Structure 1
Amino acid sequence: MTTRTILLIVLGLGIIALLYVTLVDGQSGIDTPIDPVRYKQELMDERAKKDQNFRTGSDSPITNKAQFSGLTYFAPDPAYRVTARLEPFADKTQKLVVRMSDGSEEVYEKFAHAVFQLQGETSRLLIVKADGEYTVLFQDATSGKETYGGGRYLELDSKQMSDTQVVLDFNAAYNPYCAYNPGYACPLPPPKTNYR
């Protein structure tokens, strides 16, 4: 083989690799399939970090850290990680006044509705934005029974969001600090932010 032939082969392989990264990796976006075993391990690791922070962190809502043995979590279930269709608000200046658990109020920017299928039912949740962070404040059938009655929160990763879709991972939904300590004021999900 001549040097020129080798260079052409290397160049051709480089172009193929670049096309693969651009078309396949770039196209996969937020719909990338996950490895269930790895996903569950990463989730368990995140939960262990959260428990450690609740046990030792200066901003922890736990008052009796010596007796804190960790939070109670639902078993990890990849089925509760869904891709939702985004329905953005045409008027980007819409605001939402949210009541806090202490009676005060906070103002959020209305970003979009997320429409998704979960357990065979279509649901629609409001995504709000504050300080550059995207959040869903919601209640579901577990509220007041297995989870905090005031509702839970779901922080959204902007890397798992496009102009038309977002990943909602309900395995990462959490109770606010006021569920553990009434000294904290927490936003309460506004009406019509429930899913079944």
Structure 2
Amino acid sequence: MPKNKFLLVGLFLAVLAVLYFSFFDGGNIASSAADDAINPKTYRQQVGDERKKKNEFFRTSAESPITDKANFKGLIYFAPDPAYRVVARLEPFADKTQKLVVRMSDGSEEVYDKYAHAVFSLNGEACRLLVVKLQDTYSVLFRDATSNKETYGGGRYLELDPAKLTDNHAVVDFNAAYNPYCAYNPTYACPIPPAENTLPIAIRAGERYVPHD
């Protein structure tokens, strides 16, 4: 009888251990997701405010890519959707010196540091995106199933917030995905997303695009 009792206790502790490590996923993803929980209403308001600021910048700034500012009606977007703000597991490169040569829209090249792969699930699909680093900016250059249809054919970009970036996880917010300046002004040279950063799913979040004459 004591042997059976110890066996049951051992099994119980083993189950607890499995649940513990499954919850934390070895990279603290579950706890990170809880820590990064947001209020959907407040979040949508914040996204809307940021978009208003960007429209004002495009309308008034000398650094805006818009040439005909008098007729600029504002950028178009998908509605803010918290479902497209995900906590991704990061898979850093063991070799921190790896580089990625990115082709630019004008035929030139730019060299980025390979930082990590961001791994996450979205719309029921497993996704993996390369995160690159240039100076102190961590970026994802990507295409998805909306590219050249609802969004810019050359792909879109998003930056990762360093405040929500650790060695093993990052917040990837597609509501902040934006078109490169060359989408609005061909005189700009813009990085072309690497082939591996083409997602098979439609990311209906962030900036949309309507070709102009």
**What TM-score does the superposition give when structure 1 sets the normalisation length?**
0.84
What's 2:70 paired with? 66
Q: For residues 45-64 of structure 1, what are the alpha-carbon distances to aligned partners after superposition, in whole Å with 9 as ceiling and x for unaligned?
A: 00000000000011100010
Residue 192 of structure 1 aligns to a residue in which SS?
A: helix
CA offsets 1:142-165 (integer angstroms, 9 cap, x no match): 111111101000111011111110
Alignment match, 1:11: none
Give CA-to-partner distance per residue, 1:94-130, whole Å, 9 cap, x none: 0000000000000000000000000000000000000
Cα offset, 1:76, TM superposition? 0.4
Structure 1 distance, partners of 2:36, 2:70, is 41
Task: Say whether residues 1:86 and 2:93 are aligned partners.
Answer: no
CA distance in structure 2 between the aligned counterparts of 1:33 and 1:92, rounded to whole angstroms = 31
For 1:121, the equivalent position in structure 2 comes to 125
- The 2-side partners of 1:182 and 1:131 are apart by 25
Instruction: Tell me the equivalent position of 1:102.
Output: 106
1:48 alignment partner, SS class: helix
SS at match of 2:53: helix
Quote the RMSD (CA, aligned, Å). Answer: 1.2
Alignment of 1:10-49 (within 5 A): 31-49=35-53
CA distance in 2, matches of 1:158, 1:73: 24
1:156 lines up with 2:160 in the alignment: yes
Structure 1 segments of 4 or more deviating over 3 A?
27-31
Q: 1:16 is matched with which residue? A: none
Q: Offset of 1:131 from its aligned partner?
A: 1.2
Instruction: State the identity %.
Output: 68
Cα distance in 2 for partners of 1:103, 1:51 equals 29
Deviation at 1:28, TM superposition (A): 5.9
2:205 aligns with: none
Q: Hey, what does 2:145 align to over in structure 1?
A: 141
CA distance in 2, matches of 1:47, 1:152: 16
Cα contact 1:89–1:110 (8 A) shared by 2: yes
Residues 1:112 and 2:111 aligned together? no
Question: 1:168 and 1:32 mapped to 2: Cα distance?
Answer: 11
Q: Which structure 2 residues correspond to residues 44-55 of structure 1 after superposition, within 5 A?
A: 44-55=48-59
Q: Is the 8 A contact 1:29 1:160 kept in 2?
A: no
SS at match of 1:52: helix
Q: Which residues of structure 1 form unaligned runs of 5+?
A: 1-26
Q: Which residue of 2 aligns with 1:186?
A: 190
Measured at CA, do residues 190 and 74 of structure 1 come closer, stay the same or move farther in structure 2, by a change above 3 Å? same
**Aligned partner of residue 197 in structure 2, secondary structure:** coil
Aligned residues: 170
Gaps (5+ residues) in structure 2?
1-29, 202-213
